[in-house]
Structure 1
Amino acid sequence: MTKLQILKNTLLAAVAACALVACGDDSTELASPGTVAPNPGTGTPEPQPEPEPEPSSKIDRGGFERTSAGDCPSGTSATTVGDQTHCTLSGTVTNDVTLTSGNIYQLSGKVVIGVDVGADGTAAAGDPATLTIEPGTVIYGPSKTDLLVISRGSKIEAAGTASSPIIFTSALDLDLASELGVTPAASYSGLALEEPFTSEWGGIVISGRASINTCNGAGICEAEGEGDSGLYGGDDDTDDSGTFKYVQVKYAGNPITADDELNGIAFQGVGSGTEIDYVHVHNGADDGVEFFGGTAQVKHLVITGADDDGFDWTQGWRGKAQHVVIIQNPAQPASDQGIEADNYGDGNDFLPRAKPRLANFTIVGSYSKGGESDIGMLLREGTGANIYNTVVSDFGDACLDIDQTSTFTNAGSSATNLTGNLTIQSTLFSSNCKTVFKDDGADDAFDLEAYFTNQSNNVVGATSLFNNFINGTAETAVTATDVSAVDTFFVATDYIGAVASTSASDNWTLGWTYGLNPTPECPEATTENSDGACVVSGTITEDLTLVAGLDYILSGKVVVGVDMGPDASSPLATGDAATLTVEPGVTVMGADLSSYLVVTRGSKLNSNGTADAPVTFTAIDPDTRDLDTDTSLWGGIVINGRATINTCNGVGTPCEAEGEGDSGLYGGVDDTDDSGQIFYTRVIYAGNPITADDELNGIAFQGVGSETEIDYLQVHNGADDAVEFFGGTAQAKHLVLTGADDDSLDWTQGWRGKVQHVLIIQNPNQPATDQGFEADNYGDGNDFLPRAHPMIANATVLGAGEAGGESDIGILLREGTAANLYNIVVADFGDACLDIDQTATFTVSGANATTLTGDLTMESTLLSTTCATVFKDDGADDVFSVEDWFLGQSNNLVAADTLTATSGGAAFKTYINGATENGVTATDVSAVNSFFDATTYVGAVQNAANDWTAGWTVWLNQ
C-alpha cells in the first residue's frame, strides 16, 4: 500500500467516524491523519471501503472533495497536479491568508509571510501578515528549495486539534513524484519511526524579535538566518510569532552546506509570547528543532528520526520546555546528539547566556538497534541550563558529555560546588548507553559522574521504557522534582520522563502524532476472530498483556497459570506461574455463562485501569446490554491465593479448599500472598448461579493475601454476589458494588482483610437482591479458626426497599463472624438495617449488650429509619437486644437519612452524605489501623466535591 493510500484510508475512516459521533467531543478520540495505524487507547476503526470518485469531484489522500480553482483561498493560486487541484503559496505574502481545511496546499519556492518589520518593529519597509491554518490542513513542499518563513512581526496561527492535526510534509510523502517530476522515494514497508526518508522539502523557519547574543550585549542584536531565511533578533523577549499547536512536520530540512542548514523547524529569536504546544517533527534534517537565541517556550514536543541532532540550541536561548520525547532513528546514518546545547560557538561567554529550563524529557538513541547514535546530552560552548526529571538511554557514545572550559565554569567550580548555572536534577542516565559519562581526560575540569551524582535525586541504572518512550518501573522509581515550584511555566509532575504511563490520560502523544504508537495486534497467546477481536481461551502459561486498542473475548474457562500450590517456598513441580496484564482502557468480554477468568495460586492479574481509562470486564456485545436489568451474562472472575482459610479449623497445614464453579484450589500458608493488582476496573453482568451451592460471583477472592492491591473496583449487576471473600486477608479501597443479584459484600471461611470507602446500592430491577453485607465465619463450623475478623470503614449501604425492590437486610452478621465496623451508613432495606444471627456471633460480640468486650463492634454508624425495621427481632434466638448492643457503642445513631441525590441519577441512587450523615461524629480510623485513610465523616462519600466514584463508574448517574 502506498503512503497516499495509507493516509487516504486513515482520513476516510475519520470522516466516517465523524458521521457517527460529534467530532468536537473530547470524549471520542479519532485516529490521527498521517498516523500509520490506529493508536492504542483510541479504538480500532472499522475498515472503510474507499469510495469511487464522483464524476464531478476528485478524492485525494485526505478524503476531501477537491474543488475548482476559483475556490482556492485569497492569497493562493490554483495549480493542477495530476488529476487534482492544489492551492499554491509562493513568494512574499503581505496580506493575511487563511488555509482552509478543504484544500491541499503546495509551497512553491521560499514562501515568506510578511515583510520584516525590523529588530525594534519600526522598519519603514515592514509589512506584517498572518498565515492562519485550519485544523486538518495538509501543506507540502515538492523539493528541498521549498520552505516556509515567518518574518519578524508576522505570525503563523496554526492551531490544529488532537483529532485533526495540521500536517506539513513532502510531495514524496503524498506520492506526487510523477505528477511533479521529482525523484520517487524508495519503497519502504517497515516501522514508521525507522523510515529512511528525510530532507524531502525545506522546512519551517520562524523569525522573531527576541534577544540573541551574537553581539555580546552590544545594542539591539540581529543575525541572518540560515538558508537565506532573513534577519531575526531584536529587543522584545515577549515577542509573539503566533501559535503552533497540534502540528506534524515530516521529512523537512536542507543541509545546504556544512555551515548553512535548514532544520525541521528553526525558531530564530522567537519570543515567549509565541504558543508552541503539541508539535511532532519527524525525520528532520539537519536538526529536528533548533532554537537560535530568543525565549521561545514549548510543551509537548516529539522529535523522531532527526538526521543530526534532535533538540539543538545556541546564541543565548533562554526558553523553557516540558514534556519532550526525542527518539533517534537507526535508518538515519548521521544521527548525532539527543540534545546539542551551546551558548555561542564564536563566543562561549557572550551574553545573554543560554540558560533554558527543561523538564520531563525522554531522550532515546538507537545504539541497541545498530544506529549512528552519539551523545544523549552534549552541553558545551558555555551554555547554562536547569534540567529536571529527564531520562537518557541507548546512546552509542555516552549519555552525558560536557565540553569547553566555559561550560564547566558555568556549571560550578567543581563537582562538589554546584553553585553555577548548569544543573541536572531527578534524572536517570541509563547503563545501556555505551558509556554513561564521556571521559575527555584533561579537558574535563571536573569529574562528570561526581557532578551528576552529587545533585538531587539523580540515578544511573537500567531503564525500562515501554515502546521506547513510556515510563516503566525503573523510571517510576526515581524521585521527581516538583517543577511547578521551580517555575510557574511548568505543570506539576510527580514523575520523571516525558510520558508517565500507557494510560490514555497520561500518554499525551496519542491520536495526533505520526507512527509513534504502534498498531496493536492480537497477542501471540490469543486468536483473532473474524471480527478482529482477540479470543483468549484455555490455560495461559506465559505472561500475557492485553494491549489497548483491541477488543478481547474470554471463551470458556480461561485459567491464568497452572496451580503452584499452597506454599511459595515449596512450589508444585507441575505448577507454571503466569501474569495476565490488562492495559488501561481495555475491554474484556465474556462470551457466555461458561466463560470466566480464573487466576491460579502463584499467578497474577494486573488490571491497570486509570480514572480516565478504566479496564472493563463485561459481556459480549456490551452496547446491546441494559445496565438496569441485565445480569449473569458471563461467568465472572475468580482469584485464588495462598493466604490461610479456616475450613480445616486450624488442623494441619496447609488448609486448602476447592473453589466454586470448578475454579481450582485455594488457600495456603502465606497471609501476605500477592495475586497482583486491580485498579480502576469495572466488572459488569458477571456471575453464574450454577446450583444453590455452587455459584460464580462477580469476583471471588479465594484465599487471597494482603499484598494484592485492590483500589477503585466496581462490580455492577453481579450474580450471585458482587464480591465474596473466601478466607484470606485481601484488602481493598474504593469499592462500588451496584445491582448485585444476591448479596453485595459477602465473606466467609475466616476472612481477615480490611476495606475502606465502600458504596453499595441495590437495584430494584434485580428480583433476588438480598443483603448489603452478608457476613459469616464459616457455616459448617461457626467457631472454626482462624475466625473471620475484617475491619471495614466508611461504607454507605443502600437497599432498594423504598424503590419497591426485593431488598432484605443491610448488614447481616452471622455464623460466628467477628468484625470491626466504623463510619457506616445503612438505609432503605425492606427487612431491616441490622441483624445478628447464631449464638456464636452473639458470643464473639460480647457476653451481653453492656460489656461490649468482644471482637464484633460497630462505631460511628447511622442506621436509617427508612429501613422497614431498624433492628431485626429474632425473638428467643437473640441472645441480647441488638438495639441495646448497637446504641451502647461509640457515636452510633438511629435517624432518618438525608442522603443527597446525584445529578441525573434515579431517586434510589442517593449516596452522597446529607446533613444528617455529616452530623454524625466519625471515628478517626487512621488511628485504629494504618491501612485506613484519615476521615472526618461517616459513609462512603462526604460531599459532591469529593465524589471518588465520578468519571470511571457505570450506572450511578444514569
Structure 2
Amino acid sequence: MKRLIFTIAGLFMFFGVLTAQNNIDNPFFEHVPFRGAFGTNDWTVGWTNWNPQNTNYPVATQEISGEISSNTTWAPHSSPVFGGASFINSNLQDPFFENVSYIGAFGTVDWTEGWTNWTPQFSDYGTPDVIVEGEITQNSTWTANHIYLIKGYLYVREGATLTIEAGTLVRGDKETKGSLIIERGARLIAEGTASNPIVFTSNQPAGSRTYGDWGGVILCGKATINVPGGEAIIEGGPTSMYGGGANPDDNDNSGILRYVRIEFPGIPFVPDKEINGLTLGGVGSGTTLDYIQVSYCGDDAFEWFGGTVNAKHLISFRTWDDDFDTDYGFRGKLQFLVALRDNDIADPGSGSNGFESDNDGQGSQNVPVTHPIFSNVSIFGPKYNLSTPVNANYKRAMHLRRNTKLSVYNSIFTGFPTGLFIDGTASQTNATNNELQVENCILSGMGSFFASDFERQYFLTQSRNNDTLVTNEELMILDPFDLTSPDFLPSPGNTVYLLKGYVYVRNGATLTIAPGTIIRGDKATKGTLIVERGGRMIAEGSVDNPIVFTSNEPVGSRSYGDWGGVILCGTASINVPGGEAIIEGGPTSIYGGGANPNDNDNSGILKYVRIEFPGIPFVPDKEINGLTLGGVGSGTTLDYIQVSYCGDDAFEWFGGTVNAKHLISFRTWDDDFDTDYGYRGMVQYGVALRDPVIADPGSGSNAFESDNDGQGSDNTPITHPIFSNISVFGPKQDPTTSINSNYKRALHLRRNTAINVYNSVFTGFPVSLYLDGDKTQQNATNGILNFRHNVIAGMVDYFYSNFERSFFMTENFKNDSLFDIASLEVTDPFNFIAPDFLPLPNSTLLSDSYWDNTGINDEIPLNFSVNDIYPNPASDKVYLRIFLDEPLNISFKVIDNLGRVVFASNQGEMSSGEHLLSIQTSNLNSGLYILIVNSPSGQVIKKIMVK
C-alpha cells in the first residue's frame, strides 16, 4: 500500500527547529518568473567595476588604524557645513567678523591644536613654589619658571596690572576656594602662545581632579550693564563691583587673555552662586579674549554679565552647567566657539544647556537689552547619536528666555534633548520682530528639534535658511565626540582612506561611510576592517556613487589578496558549542551571541558596495574572505555588493541569520558562496563569474561550498540557508576551454548541511553537484536539503555519482540539464570586461521559477503509516497508532524547538499490521515538538503539542 504522507508543509514544521522563517515562500523573496539572477533588468549596471586593475583610484589621503570607539563618519565629499555661511545680515557687517565660507567653528584648520588639553585629569603639573593670596595693588609679573598657587580670593586692585608670561602654570587651592579677580580699573595680561599656553588648573593630584576644585577667573570692567544704577556685585562670592555706573566706558580694557586654559574651576560659594570658569562682568570691548579653553567647570564655562567685550576661539569642554551664558545687557560679538559635552554630566539644579540667555533675572525691559551676536559656533551636545543615553538634567541646545535678543548665525547645534526653546512672550515677540535671530544654522541629532510649534515655524521660515538633520553623522564632522582627542574638522573633499592593519569598530560605535567614499587597504600591514559585536557599519552607497574598498597598490600591480577584507561580527545564533567563537582570518574578534543570541541583531547596512582584491592570507587556510559574516543577524542589510579578485572566498557566512540580495562574485580564487556553522539566512539574486586560469590549489574552487560545521556534526542550528535566483558562470565557457585543474564543483554540499537552492543556473564546472557524505545525502533524501527548479549546463561530469543524478532528476523537483551553455541563450556572460548576464528573449531561464512551498505534495512511497496520534495536545503520554505493510525496523525521536532530541526509541523489527506505541511527555516542557518516525523506506514527520 502506497500512501501520500510526506509533504513540504510537513517539512516546514521540521524546518521550524532550524528557523521559523526559511522558506521559499517567505516574503523576503520576490516571486519573479525567471530562473537565475536576471530577467530583463541588468541590476549590475552603473555601480560595478569589471576592470579594477586598471582603474585610476586617487591616492589615499588619510590613514586609519587601531580602533573606532565612537561614532565616526568617512566621506569623500565636503561636509554640508562647507560653503553654507552667509555674512549679509547687517548684524555681521562688522570688521570683527571673518567672512569664512563654512558653518560652525571649523573649516579646514583645527585651531585647537597645540595649546589645548583634553585629558587634564592626568597631566603632571608639578608642585607650586609660590603662594599668592590677598591682593595685588601694583604691577606684578608671574614667570614661567615658577608654579603659582592661588589661595582664597586674590584681588588685582584698580590701577594694577598682573602680567603672566607664556607657559606659566597657576594652580587653585581647593580648601580656600582659590580665585583670581581682576577688579574695575585693573588689568590681566595673560598672553600665552600656541606652544606655550598659560594654564590655570586644580591643585589636586593627578587622578583626583574634578569639577569645582577651585574658583576661576573673574574680570570686572566699566562697560554698560542693564542693572539699575549701572553697577552690581559680581556673582560668585567676591565683593567686587562690575559695570560703569553712571559713567560707563564700553571701550574699557581689562587686559588680554590669549592661549589660556582654565581647568576644574567653578567652585560653589553658596547654592546658585557658583563662580564660573571665566566670568566677565561689564567687561569692555578694549579687552582681548582669544583662544581660551575652559574644561570641567562646575558651573557655566563662560558667563557674560553685561558689557561689550568681543571674543574668538573659545572652548567649553565637559562643562557642568551651561557652555555660554549671556545676560544683564551683554552686547559683544563672538566668533569661532566650540562646546563638547559629557553625556553623563549635567547640572541637577538649573539643568544644562549649550546657550542660555536672559535680559536679566526677571526678564525686564531694562536697557541695554541683552543682544550678543554669535557666529560660527559648534555645540556638540551629550546625545552623540540617537541611542546615546544622557543625563536627565540635560535640557536644550539653546534656551533663549527672559526678553533676550541674542542672535546667532552660521552655527551648528547637535545632540540635546531639545534643540531650540524661545521661552516666554517677550523673547518670542523679539523673535517675531526679528530682533532675536537664528539664521543659517543647523540642528542635528536632537531628541526634539523644537520645544513647540512656535520654534518650529520660526526656525524653518525659508528666509532664515536654517536646516535640521536627523543624525549627527549627516554633518560629516570627522570625530567630534571623542572626549580624549576630538576632531572637530568637517570632512574635506576628496578624502581617500587607507586601512593600515586591523581596524576595529568597537562595541557601541557606528562607522558611517558616505556614498562615493573610497577606502584602500594597505598590503604590508594587511589592512582589514572588522566591525565587532555591538558595532555597526552604515555603508550605504548608491548606483551612481558606490562605496569602494580596494587595493592600495598602483594600477597594473593589483592582485588577489592585496589587503584583508571586510568582516562583520554579530550576536546571532551559531552552532559552535557555547554559541560564540573567534572569527576566521586573524583578528581576535568574537562572533555569535553566546548563551543569549539575538537573531535580529543589526550590524548595519552594506548597499552598493564594491570590495576589490581582498583575501590576504593570515596563515595557511586562515585567509580573510572578501566579505566575512560571523553570526550576523537579520536586522542587517546586505544589498548590491560586488567582491572582485578575492584571494579566498568572496562571501562566507559563519552562522547567523542575515539575508542578502544582489551579490556578485567576480574572478574569485576559492569559493564564491560559502555557508557553515549554522547559517540560516535567505539570499536572492547572486551572480558569479569565474576566471578559467585562477583557482585555489589548496582546497580547490567551487561556486557553492556548504557545511554544517568543520566536522559535519549534528550541532544546531543546522546550516540551512535558502538561495534563489543565482547564476554561476563557471570556468569552462565551452567544451574546448582549458581550465585550472584545481576547479572542482559548482556545488559541494557536505558535512551535514541542509542548504536549499531554487530557481538557479550553474554552468561550466568539472562537476555540477556533489552531495558529500552520508548525513548530507540523508538530508537530501529526507527533503531537508532541497535543489529544485534549477538548471545545469556545460559541465564535464554532471554528477559526482548516481546518488546526485537520481536526486537531481527526481521528476517533481523540476530541474533541467543542458549539454552546452550556449543553449541557455544568455547574452554575453563570459565577457570579463563588460559581461552581459541577461537572458535572450527565448531563453529557457525566463520561465519555470518556483515559489509555492506548500503546494507540491511530493509523493514518497512508504511501507508504513502513522494513522493516529492521541491525545494531542498531551500532558502525560501520547500514543502512536502505526500500520506496517510488511515487517520493518522502526525507530522514532522527538525534537524540541531548539533542534534537540528529547526522546528517542529504537523498536527494532516490527511485524506487519497495526501497532500502538507510547511516548512519555510528562517530563517535557509545554510547547510544540516534532516527531520523526524512521524506517528503511523513509520517514514520517508529525507535530506533537505538549500542554
If you compute each CA radius of gyration, which structure gives the higher value, 1 or 2?
2
Name whichever structure is richer in strand by fraction: 2
TM-score relative to the length of structure 1: 0.41
Larger RCO, structures 1/2 (Cα 8 Å, 6+ apart): 2
Q: TM-score, normalised by structure 2?
A: 0.41
